[in-house]
Amino acid sequence: MSSMWIEFLFILTLVLPYFGFPEIVMSSPHNIKSKPNCTMFKNLECPRTLDPVCANDRITYANDSFCKMVLEKDLEYEYHGICQST
């Protein structure tokens, strides 16, 4: 392999994560969502918006209405987004 190819691959590995994984690289404390306030969901129906929430039971709920499940089960908020398999 020529040194030009090695140099190209090196630069590619430095640049690719910024274009391939922008939500990970560009995350900052300012654009990360906070824990939902579950008290306002006691008597409300769940909205139809898709904004995934991962709970400590490793189930992805469609939106903040997972709070209704918090009141029925012993669930806790983990993070906004789809639960990652471990």
Alpha-carbon gap, residue 9 to 86, rounded angstroms: 30
Residue keyed to tokens 């030009």: 4
* Residue with more model confidence, 46 or 7: 7
Largest CA distance in the chain: 67
Q: For residue range 16-36, what is the model confidence (pLDDT) as tens digits? A: 665 555 554 444 444 467 777
Q: Give tens-digit pLDDT for 36-73.
A: 777 666 665 666 778 888 888 888 888 777 777 777 78
From the options 1.10.10.10, 3.30.60.30, 3.20.10.10, 3.30.470.10, give the CATH code of 33-86. Answer: 3.30.60.30
Every domain of the chain and the residues it spans: 1-31, 33-86
3-state helix, strand, coil split of the chain in percent (to 5) is 40, 10, 50
Mean pLDDT of 76-82: 87
